[in-house]
Amino acid sequence: MSGTGLMVVCAVGVNSYYGKLKLKIQQDQDDTPLQIKLTDLADKVGQVGMYSAAATFAAMFIHYVYDCIVEGFIESFISVETIHEVIEYFIIAVSIVVVAVPEGLPLSVTIALAYSVGKMKDENNLVRYLQAC
């Protein structure tokens, strides 16, 4: 319960057993080939969504300008109504970008991998990581 003692310290910090164990746990794991392909696919879908949104915004704005010129309302083009229309077109373009980004893609892949882990277990194959499937 009480007393004194002597101790020899051989290693501290990252050189100790605990430090080495902590470094192994904290190492960044490399992306699997599936994760690399999914990231590439998500980037491509995002780029297509951005181009589509820009094209939609430009087409709607050009159509509005054309309507103002044809109907002879050049003076109404420089008004608050025009600002409201442009903001509405911008909101539509942002909505296209938000819808185009595949937020559910990683979830669906995880569900498919979990299903395949179950199938592997039925065949008496123990899989430790989902990426192994």
Q: Please, what's the b/e burial string for 76-105 (b: 16 or more CB within 10 A of its CB; e: otherwise)?
A: eeeeeebeebeeebeeebeebeeebeeeee
Span of 12-16, 67-71, 74-78 with lowest mean pLDDT: 74-78
Mean pLDDT of the chain: 82
**pLDDT tens sequence across 29-55:** 677 777 788 778 878 888 888 999 999
Q: At residue 14, does pLDDT exceed 90?
A: no
pLDDT mean over 128-133: 69
pTM over 0.75: no
pLDDT over 70 percentage in the chain = 85
Q: What are phi and psi of 123, to 5 degrees?
A: -95, 15
Q: At residue 90, does pLDDT exceed 90?
A: yes
Spatial separation of the C-alpha atoms in residues 76 and 82, rounded to whole Å = 8
Q: Please, what's the b/e burial string for 8-42 (b: 16 or more CB within 10 A of its CB; e: otherwise)?
A: eeeeeeeeeeeeeeeeeeeeeeeeeeeeeebeeee
The identity of residue 23, as a single letter, is L
Q: At residue 132, does pLDDT exceed 70?
A: no
Other beta carbons less than 10 A from residue 127's beta carbon: 15
Spatial separation of the C-alpha atoms in residues 104 and 11, rounded to whole Å = 47
Q: At residue 89, does pLDDT exceed 80?
A: yes
